């Protein structure tokens, strides 16, 4: 099934509730819808969220690398020539989000061609994922109100608190207020997005001892190798690598050098193919994984559910799947629903992310 064209459509949808975190802030989802067209008329689709503060990519760079760098070598190959297409992508370093979206669009096209859900092709473990909600920077009482609202409205019982602020007391107070207000049954974990030093992270762990926090994600820059290794050795809870581990090679380097002892998998930056490699590495080593969120749209979140529900290890913990609720609108024709704290996979061929063409026309920024 020959690829005839790769299309990268920039679009912008505002956030009703912008998310703030240690490495950046999102006001608008200025993403790229990636389409792989085939000679049979089948179109594979995926969403690419640029994160310049995390990987250096922008809307313009994603469109450019897909259409100008990859497309000339990929057009003419079949959507089933995944290894060859990955060899093309490997010739260009970085550009993780562009590569991830192309990979997911290929899987979507393969699923549609085979008339099979991609989650079934990947592993077919279960038919839904538990949802974890991300709490951005806010005063402690507002964080508690937000968590209670998401608990009551959607049945969510897992929360990731964005941290990495200074003074440290801001985040420490938030942890205490959330635990006290939400009770012991709620799963609470932290993501500092490299905002602290390793020693500051250690101090936060000391001052939140007894609160039952479950994970500490990207506490400091992984390049601070020595102090981070010391933190990982001393931490009573798993230290999760996120932006330091977009590829299987990064994950093995960080795990083997002691930079983390758990891994966050994000389909938006690893696609399904490399995410599978990362997962295999982690299950082989006995390392916990979480399914993260690249501040995804509904289209992107459905890709995460598609992958996460396919394997036992990725569906064990709640996946971060609720950021789309903060957006004013979305491109997905049939909106995602969170019911009893879960999102269901779609039992349709491909990933199941049918696009509302009227909305795409309204939000695309290239016409
Ligand atoms: C996360 O888990 O870090 C924030 C920046 C980014 O690249 O992803 C988000 C969420
Ligand atoms: Mg993170």
Structural domain containing residue 224: 120-344
For the chain, the domain total comes to 2
For residue 286, tell me if it sits in a domain. Answer: yes
Question: Phi first, then psi: what are they for 35, rounded to 5°?
Answer: -125, 130
Q: Are residues 158 and 263 in the same domain?
A: yes
Q: Are residues 137 and 101 in the same domain?
A: no
Q: Are residues 168 and 274 in the same domain?
A: yes
Alpha-carbon distances of 354 from 43, 122, 298, 332, rounded to whole Å:
10, 19, 11, 6
Q: Which of 45, 108, 217, 250 is catalytic?
A: 217
Q: Are residues 187 and 62 in the same domain?
A: no
For residue 39, tell me if it sits in a domain. Answer: yes
Starting from the CA of residue 50, give the closest ligand.
1
Q: Are residues 129 and 277 in the same domain?
A: yes
Q: Which of 108, 187, 242, 320 is catalytic?
A: 242
Q: Are residues 131 and 110 in the same domain?
A: no
The minimum-distance atom of ligand 1 relative to the CA of 193 is 3
Going 95 to 101 to 104 to 106, the CA torsion angle's sign is negative
Q: Are residues 220 and 340 in the same domain?
A: yes
pLDDT tens per residue, the chain (367 residues)?
999 999 999 999 999 999 999 999 999 999 999 999 999 999 999 999 999 999 999 999 999 999 999 999 999 999 999 999 999 999 999 999 999 999 999 999 999 999 999 999 999 999 999 999 999 999 999 999 999 999 999 999 999 999 999 999 999 999 999 999 999 999 999 999 999 999 999 999 999 999 999 999 999 999 999 999 999 999 999 999 999 999 999 999 999 999 999 999 999 999 999 999 999 999 999 999 999 999 999 999 999 999 999 999 999 999 999 999 999 999 999 999 999 999 999 999 999 999 999 999 999 999 9
3-state secondary structure of 239: strand
Residue 103 designated active-site: no
Q: Are residues 12 and 96 in the same domain?
A: yes
The ipTM is 0.98
Rounded Cα gap, residues 281 and 284, in angstroms: 5
Last residue of a domain, one of 50, 85, 115: 115
Start-end of H helices in 155-192: 169-182
Task: Tell how far the Cα of 266 is from the centroid of ligand 1, in angstroms.
Answer: 9
3-state secondary structure of 183: coil
Q: Are residues 101 and 172 in the same domain?
A: no
CATH number assigned to the domain comprising residue 170: 3.20.20.120
CATH number assigned to the domain comprising residue 16: 3.30.390.10
- Please give all residues whose beta carbon lies within 6 A of any atom in ligand 1, as ranges: 21, 23, 51, 54, 191, 193, 242-243, 292-295
Residue 162 designated active-site: yes
For residue 246, tell me if it sits in a domain. Answer: yes
Q: Are residues 179 and 65 in the same domain?
A: no
Q: Which of 200, 266, 296, 298 is catalytic?
A: 266
């Amino acid at each position: 099934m020959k690829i005839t064209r790769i299309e990268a459509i920039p679009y912008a949808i505002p956030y009703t509730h912008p998310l703030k975190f240690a490495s950046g802030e999102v006001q608008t989802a200025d993403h790229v819808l990636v389409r792989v067209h085939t000679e049979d008329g089948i179109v594979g689709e995926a969403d690419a969220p640029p994160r310049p503060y995390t990987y250096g990519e922008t809307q313009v760079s994603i469109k450019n690398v897909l259409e100008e760098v990859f497309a000339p070598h990929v057009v003419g190959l079949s959507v089933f020539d995944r290894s060859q297409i990955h060899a093309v992508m490997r010739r260009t370093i970085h550009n993780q989000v562009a590569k991830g979206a192309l990979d997911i669009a290929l899987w979507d096209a393969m699923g549609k061609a085979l008339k099979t859900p991609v989650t079934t092709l990947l592993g077919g473990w279960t038919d839904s994922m538990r949802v974890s909600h991300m709490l951005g920077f806010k005063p402690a009482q507002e964080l508690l109100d937000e968590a209670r609202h998401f608990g009551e409205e959607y049945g969510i019982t897992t929360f990731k608190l964005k941290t990495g602020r200074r003074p440290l007391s801001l985040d420490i107070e938030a942890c205490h207020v959330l635990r006290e207000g939400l009770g012991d049954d709620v799963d609470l974990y932290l993501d500092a997005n490299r905002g602290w030093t390793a020693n500051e992270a250690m101090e936060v762990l000391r001052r939140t001892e007894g609160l039952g926090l479950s994970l500490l994600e990207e506490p400091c820059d992984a390049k601070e190798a020595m102090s981070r290794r010391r933190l990982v050795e001393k931490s009573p809870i798993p230290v999760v690598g996120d932006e330091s581990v977009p590829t299987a090679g990064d994950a093995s380097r960080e795990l083997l050098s002691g930079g983390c002892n758990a891994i966050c998998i994000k389909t938006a930056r690893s696609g399904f193919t490399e995410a599978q490699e990362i997962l295999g590495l982690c299950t082989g080593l006995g390392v916990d994984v979480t399914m993260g969120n690249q501040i995804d749209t509904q289209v992107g979140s459905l890709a995460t559910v598609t992958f996460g529900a396919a394997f036992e290890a990725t569906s064990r913990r709640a996946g971060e799947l609720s950021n789309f609720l903060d957006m004013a609108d979305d491109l997905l024709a049939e909106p995602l629903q969170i019911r009893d704290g879960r999102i269901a996979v779609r039992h349709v061929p491909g990933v199941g992310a049918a696009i509302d063409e009227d909305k795409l026309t309204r939000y695309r920024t290239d016409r």
